[in-house]
Amino acid sequence: MQAVELQNLSKIYPGGKQAVKQITLSLNQGEVFGFLGPNGAGKTTTVKLLNGMLIPSEGNCRVFNIDPVYEPEKVHAISGVVTEHAQMYDNLTGLENLIFYASIFGISSSESEKDANSLLKQLNLEEAKNRKLSSYSTGMRQRLSLARALIHHPRVLFLDEPTSGLDPESAQNVNRMIQLLAKNEGITVFLCTHQLRYAQEICTRYGLIEEGKLLVSGTLEELRAKILARITLCIRATKVPDMLSFKKIGDQQYEIDICSENEIPGIVRQIIESNGDIYAVSAKKPTLEDIYFALTSNAKEDLK
Ligand SMILES: Nc1ncnc2c1ncn2[C@@H]1O[C@H](COP(=O)(O)OP(=O)(O)OP(=O)(O)O)[C@@H](O)[C@H]1O
Ligand SMILES: [Mg+2]
């Protein structure tokens, strides 16, 4: 059974804006799926459809085979959600908030207190746990919202920009935690983000969405093969033969785009045979960011 499934999913808001256009996609259990796209692409709308907060205009979606339109409470019982503006209670402490939200899922305070304390510790909120939420900073609230999403041991996590307000250290900590939840506990993660470098560190597969349409999905290697199958070879050498059409990018620094790693030994041999001394060779594959920009600009070209 797929953990999350979207079939021909579409959403037209009252007023006529089509925010999601016939998206078909599925996530295996334990996957950390990066759902990427520019502002207004339809990411949050998709998360809301998956949670039953919005009703599809066409198509359907399922979380462990449960349709959020018909059984939203069952979807909520097995999923945790972190949205951009998490609502919690300002007049309760961090710990009290977690215990309260656990009680909504029928977990007694004696049961939830241990988990709550452990989550607060993992998210570096231990010292603040007995302070009222009204005294929390934005980043602290965001971390507490992740703890809230995890308090009932969900099988799926929907994370909408979970690290946008976090400092680099907290963001790294949260990303590490997400990765471990997937790896050790088999939690499936649907992660909407603009932070492509973090996404590349933690996601196992990606979907790129623009103007409501899913442009492509796959692992980083699959996206490289489909979108940008070039490798940049960087060489530090005393000289390179002109016929190789290297670009000089600095003192004794040269770059050339190649199609396959198999070209590297031949290039190195040619440099040596032309009496060049080589000090360093490295091959750079396109990053997720490179692919994202190549794809979104291609999509714009296609629309012209
Ligand atoms: N309640 C609404 N009524 C009408 N249009 C809406 C509503 N919510 C969102 N939209 C529109 O739907 C489109 C998709 O919005 P959505 O919030 O899903 O994008 P997003 O990918 O989450 O963007 P961001 O990266 O800025 O969070 C946008 O054009 C937005 O203006
Ligand atoms: Mg959004």
CATH number at residue 81: 3.40.50.300
| Nearest ligand 1 atom, CA 45 | 18
| 159 and 186 belong to one structural domain | yes
Mutate to test the pocket of ligand 1, among 21, 39, 45, 213 (most ligand atoms within 8 A of CB): 45
Q: CB count, 10 Å around CB of 25?
A: 20
| Nearest ligand 1 atom, CA 84 | 27
**Sign of the dihedral defined by the CA atoms of residues 99, 104, 107, 109, in that order:** positive
In a domain, 291, yes or no: no
Report how far ligand 2's centroid is from the alpha carbon of 40 (Å): 7
Question: Residue 207: what are its φ and ψ, rounded to 5°?
Answer: -135, 130
In a domain, 180, yes or no: yes
Residue at which a domain ends, from 225, 249, 275: 225
SS3 label, residue 148: helix
> 148: phi > 0 → left, psi -120 to 50 → alpha, else beta; which?
alpha
| 150 and 281 belong to one structural domain | no
Report how far ligand 2's centroid is from the alpha carbon of 254 (Å): 41
Structurally, the chain folds into a number of domains equal to 2
Report the pLDDT value the prediction gives residue 83, as an integer from 0 to 100.
Answer: 86
| 168 and 136 belong to one structural domain | yes
Report how far ligand 1's centroid is from the alpha carbon of 213 (Å): 13
| 201 and 235 belong to one structural domain | no
In contact, 288 and 196? CB cutoff 8 Å: yes
| 277 and 170 belong to one structural domain | no
Report the pLDDT value the prediction gives residue 165, as an integer from 0 to 100.
Answer: 81
Q: Which residues line ligand 1 (CB under 6 A)?
A: 13, 15, 17, 19, 37, 39-45
Taking the chain, what is the end-to-end CA distance rounded to the nearest angstrom?
A: 40
In a domain, 60, yes or no: yes
Q: Is 168 exposed, middle or buried (0-12, 13-18, 19+ CB in 10 A)?
A: exposed
| Nearest ligand 1 atom, CA 47 | 18
- For the chain, 304 residues long, the average pLDDT of each consecutive 10-residue run is 96 97 97 95 97 96 98 96 86 97 94 95 95 93 94 96 87 91 95 91 95 96 91 95 92 94 94 95 94 78 53
Report the pLDDT value the prediction gives residue 138, as an integer from 0 to 100.
Answer: 87
- Mark the residues whose beta carbon lies below 5 A from ion ligand 2: 43-44
In a domain, 294, yes or no: no
| 132 and 244 belong to one structural domain | no
SS3 label, residue 204: coil
Report how far ligand 1's centroid is from the alpha carbon of 285 (Å): 33
In a domain, 80, yes or no: yes
Residue at which a domain ends, from 191, 225, 259: 225
Alpha helices by DSSP H, the chain:
43-50, 72-78, 94-104, 109-122, 138-150, 168-185, 196-202, 220-227, 264-273, 288-303
| 47 and 157 belong to one structural domain | yes
SS3 label, residue 226: helix
In a domain, 268, yes or no: yes
Compute CA 120 distance to the chain's CA centroid, rounded to the nearest angstrom.
Answer: 23
In a domain, 216, yes or no: yes
| 125 and 254 belong to one structural domain | no
Query: Measuring CA to CA, which residue among 203, 272, 279, 209 is closest to residue 237?
Result: 279
Residue at which a domain ends, from 190, 225, 260: 225
> What is the pTM assigned to this prediction?
0.90
Report the pLDDT value the prediction gives residue 130, as an integer from 0 to 100.
Answer: 96
Task: Give the DSSP H/E element, type plus range, for residue 23.
Answer: strand 18-27
| 267 and 215 belong to one structural domain | no
SS3 label, residue 18: strand
| 25 and 148 belong to one structural domain | yes
Report how far ligand 2's centroid is from the alpha carbon of 259 (Å): 36
| 263 and 116 belong to one structural domain | no
In a domain, 208, yes or no: yes
Mutate to test the pocket of ligand 1, among 9, 17, 158 (most ligand atoms within 8 A of CB): 17
Query: Measuring CA to CA, which residue among 262, 267, 261, 228 is closest to residue 245?
Result: 267
In contact, 51 and 62? CB cutoff 8 Å: no
| 22 and 168 belong to one structural domain | yes
Domain ranges, residue 268? 229-285
Mutate to test the pocket of ligand 1, among 43, 208, 213 (most ligand atoms within 8 A of CB): 43
Residue closest via CA to ligand 1's atom 30 equals: 40
Residue closest via CA to ligand 1's atom 6 equals: 13
